[in-house]
């Protein structure tokens, strides 16, 4: 997932952050009385990376407030300029206005997501409405919009270079989308909505983190955990007392259910995850209901039928109807395949001498048995070949080197925010510096659930900035002294998130607002999903799939089994994804006068009315109450993006397969024509120009086993 912070609309549109030594130094010199705050002076580390040896909790609030003040002053200067509006004195100055604030926010949001604490959460709660008010003060400013509009109207006569032209268009569209054309009274109402939404979103994230942590289960009887290896048990030893502590991941299904033999234990863990934020002290139902109803009112105020219709402006899908059309085309095939899979699993339960009806907490365990019987493939036989650092360096990095010529060097001299974080420096094929990469892979209580990519520093020629990028995952941390071995799904996630990172590293833009991953939500997942394909590419797999004890290369017979099982369980996988995506769209297509009397009933009806509950053992990947993508991040009315871009990534990989596969020539062409373009060109045209045709859905259907 590309992490998108949503203090307001503009933060969604401009996911890239504005960093720069020059502007930061100027702002600091002109407005600060002290240089004691490391967030307010240029970092002395390579690439301007944040110096976590100096940054303390108490530095953030004053730095954020200083950043807000600096941006307000810069905007006021633009508005009060008596000279006629020009690109330089309006658009360029607006682009530069938030440099200090964004550089502080990059670090702040990095920590609040990956390593938060009570102090940071308190700052987040206090500052969220202030960030919203700041954005409204900019994008609902009549005088500022007048200057932007004057330039937009005569844009074709301004003789701008293509990227500057695109920046002007992007700002104008952002102003319009934000409500710049509303009446004064409606603008005040919108400001109220935005402030409330910022506060509610922050409250949701804080409550969900507590729900994830408090939902962890402690088992005192080792027999209850039968099926887990001694290594797994050792890693789960309760550091707060006796017994074994099972943490909750952000998804509905929990990885350990695949191994646990006792059905009562599986049910207990599943229900703890399923109800973590429903009926507990960390209940989020009231919060998400308020968010959905406020968003509906916001959409209506801005002239749309619902929030989704407003939100989908500028995306490839364009409108909710197109998203639902995609769902309707996939649901019958997905649920039919899931039904067939459920029947196979039910037979396996009986074959195993057990007599019960398949439930969600049984699926993973008995599906694994079916896979072993059908394909002679056992997950436990695969994991020894997927040691985490070997996967990263000899798999993820190796594929990037073969495709794009880039190389990597670990930097143990760069300070990090947690001891588990690794740092690498990236170099171009000719030896030129490319950027810094932070890898933060292990779960911990201070980290929100899921996996994501974001920037500490965003690429920009305007500020001569090279990217500093981080990937965050939530892999279970092994016990001290044990190796960290990954499942294949976790390997795929590592490739996925580094695909986002490559999109950021290869950015080649003047302006940070158009740089790298600052693209539509239903395109941003394309480079990341596409990069997953290299995890099973023969040359790559053989290079990194080495037994952690012997160094033996993964046997070809095992590779063949993995590939043969590629379409296994795809009915379940697609249905759980469709269920979550559908929930997202249903929450965000309610009308402004619709009252949600019960969040649970709304969720149940949303699944039933679209026939996504026909296989009761397949729950949504996320229940509404812990759906952080849509209630705590920037994917509201946007979770469909994963399915939308899935078609692109399978189609793109099909092109590679038909044109020589993993070669430097193919990689360079993809980098030059797609990964390096940021948001500077029309995305559909960009893809078609690279591909030579419109994307086709057949490769996706084949990969899913639906054709």
Query: What residues are labeled active site?
Result: 497
Distance (Å) of CA 322 to CA 3, 263, 312, 635:
25, 41, 10, 17
The tokens for 70 are: 């600096």
- Can you give 247-263 as a three-state secondary structure string? CCCCCCCCHHHHCCCCH
The tokens for 578 are: 């469709």
Angle at 335 between CA 333 and CA 338, to 5 degrees: 110
Instruction: Compute the half-sphere exposure of residue 473: CA atoms within 13 Å on the CB side of its CA.
Output: 21
CB 286 within 8 A of CB 294: no
Q: Which of 316, 169, 151, 177 is nearest to 680 (CA)?
A: 169
Angle at 407 between CA 401 and CA 413, to 5 degrees: 145
What's the rounded Cα separation, in Å, for the pair 162 and 154? Answer: 15
287 phi/psi in degrees, rounded to 5: -65, -50
CB 435 within 8 A of CB 455: no
The DSSP bridge pattern shows strands 422-427 and 407-410 to be: antiparallel
CB 437 within 8 A of CB 455: no
What's the rounded Cα separation, in Å, for the pair 476 and 479? Answer: 10
Q: Which of 462, 444, 532 is nearest to 496 (CA)?
A: 532
Kindly give the residue spans of alpha helices, DSSP state H, lying in 20-141: 21-31, 57-79, 93-97, 99-114, 118-139
The DSSP bridge pattern shows strands 433-442 and 468-475 to be: parallel
The tokens for 42 are: 């240029």
The tokens for 503 are: 């999109």
Distance (Å) of CA 258 to CA 18, 228, 379:
44, 10, 10
Work out the angle between the directed axes of helices 320-351 and 360-375 (0-180°, nearest 10).
70
Distance (Å) of CA 323 to CA 606, 617, 644, 683:
15, 25, 8, 18
Kindly give the residue spans of alpha helices, DSSP state H, lying in 506-640: 521-532, 538-544, 556-564, 570-587, 599-609, 628-631
CA-based radius of gyration for the chain: 25
In three-state secondary structure terms, 378 is coil
What's the rounded Cα separation, in Å, for the pair 6 and 131? Answer: 10
Looking at the DSSP bridge assignments, the partners of residue 468 are: 436, 457
The tokens for 164 are: 């500057």
CB 20 within 8 A of CB 460: yes
Per-residue DSSP letter, 597: S
């Amino acid at each position: 997932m590309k992490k998108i912070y949503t203090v307001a609309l503009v933060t969604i549109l401009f996911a890239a952050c504005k960093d720069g030594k020059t502007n930061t130094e100027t702002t600091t010199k002109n407005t600060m009385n002290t240089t004691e705050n490391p967030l307010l002076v240029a970092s002395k580390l390579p690439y301007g990376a944040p110096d976590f040896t100096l940054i303390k909790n108490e530095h953030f609030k004053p730095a954020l407030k200083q950043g807000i003040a600096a941006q307000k002053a810069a905007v006021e200067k633009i508005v009060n300029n008596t000279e006629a509006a020009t690109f330089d004195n309006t658009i360029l100055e607006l682009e530069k206005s938030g440099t200090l604030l964004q550089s502080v926010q990059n670090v702040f949001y990095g920590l609040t997501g990956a390593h938060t604490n009570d102090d940071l959460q308190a700052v987040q709660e206090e500052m969220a409405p202030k960030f919203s008010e700041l954005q409204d003060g900019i994008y609902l400013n009549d005088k500022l919009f007048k200057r932007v509009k004057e330039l937009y109207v005569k844009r074709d006569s301004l003789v701008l270079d293509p990227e500057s032209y695109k920046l002007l268009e992007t700002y104008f569209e952002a102003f319009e989308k934000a409500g710049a054309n509303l009446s004064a009274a409606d603008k005040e109402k919108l400001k109220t909505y935005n402030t409330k939404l910022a506060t509610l979103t922050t409250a949701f994230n804080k409550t969900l983190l507590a729900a994830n942590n408090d939902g962890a289960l402690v088992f005192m009887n080792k027999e209850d955990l039968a099926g887990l290896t001694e290594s797994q048990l050792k890693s789960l030893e309760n550091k707060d007392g006796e017994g074994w502590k099972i943490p909750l991941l952000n998804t509905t299904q929990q990885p350990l259910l695949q191994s646990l033999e006792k059905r009562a234990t599986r049910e207990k863990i599943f229900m703890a995850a399923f109800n973590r934020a429903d009926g507990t002290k960390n209940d989020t139902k009231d919060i998400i209901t308020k968010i959905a109803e406020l968003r509906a009112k916001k959409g209506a105020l801005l002239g749309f039928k619902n929030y989704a219709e407003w939100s989908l402006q500028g995306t490839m899908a364009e409108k909710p109807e197109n998203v639902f059309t995609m769902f309707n085309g996939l649901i019958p095939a997905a649920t039919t395949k899931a039904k067939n899979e459920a029947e196979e699993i039910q037979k396996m339960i009986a074959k195993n001498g057990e007599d019960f009806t398949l439930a969600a907490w049984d699926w993973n365990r008995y599906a694994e048995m079916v896979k072993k019987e059908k394909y002679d493939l056992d997950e436990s036989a695969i994991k020894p070949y997927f040691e985490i650092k070997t996967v990263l360096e000899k798999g993820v990095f190796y594929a990037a080197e073969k495709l794009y010529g880039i190389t990597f060097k670990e930097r143990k001299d760069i300070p990090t925010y947690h001891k588990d974080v690794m740092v690498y420096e990236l170099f171009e094929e000719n030896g030129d510096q490319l950027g810094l990469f932070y890898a933060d892979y292990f779960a911990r209580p201070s980290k929100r659930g899921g996996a994501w990519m974001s920037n500490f520093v965003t690429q920009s020629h305007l500020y001569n900035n090279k990217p500093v990028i981080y990937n965050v995952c939530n892999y279970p941390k092994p016990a001290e002294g044990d190796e960290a071995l990954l499942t294949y799904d976790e390997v795929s996630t590592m490739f996925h998130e580094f695909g986002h990172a490559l999109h950021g590293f290869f950015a080649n833009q003047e302006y940070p607002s158009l740089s790298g991953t600052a693209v539509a939500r239903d395109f941003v997942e394309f480079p990341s999903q596409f990069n997953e394909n290299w995890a099973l590419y023969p040359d790559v797999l053989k290079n990194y799939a080495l037994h952690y004890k012997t160094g033996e290369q993964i046997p070809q017979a095992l590779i063949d089994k993995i590939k043969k099982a590629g379409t296994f369980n795809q009915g379940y996988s697609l249905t759980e994804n469709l269920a979550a995506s559908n929930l997202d769209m249903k929450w965000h297509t309610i009308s402004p006068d619709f009252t949600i009397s019960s969040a649970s009933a709304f969720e149940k009806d949303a699944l039933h009315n679209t026939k996504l509950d026909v296989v009761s053992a397949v729950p949504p990947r996320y229940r509404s109450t812990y759906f952080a993508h849509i209630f705590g991040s920037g994917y509201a009315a946007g979770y469909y993006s994963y399915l939308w871009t899935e078609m692109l990534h399978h189609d793109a990989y099909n092109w590679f397969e038909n044109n020589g596969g993993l070669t430097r020539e193919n990689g360079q062409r993809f980098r030059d024509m797609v990964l390096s373009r940021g948001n500077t060109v029309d995305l559909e045209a960009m893809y078609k120009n690279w591909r030579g045709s419109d994307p086709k859905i057949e490769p996706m259907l084949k990969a899913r086993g639906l054709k």
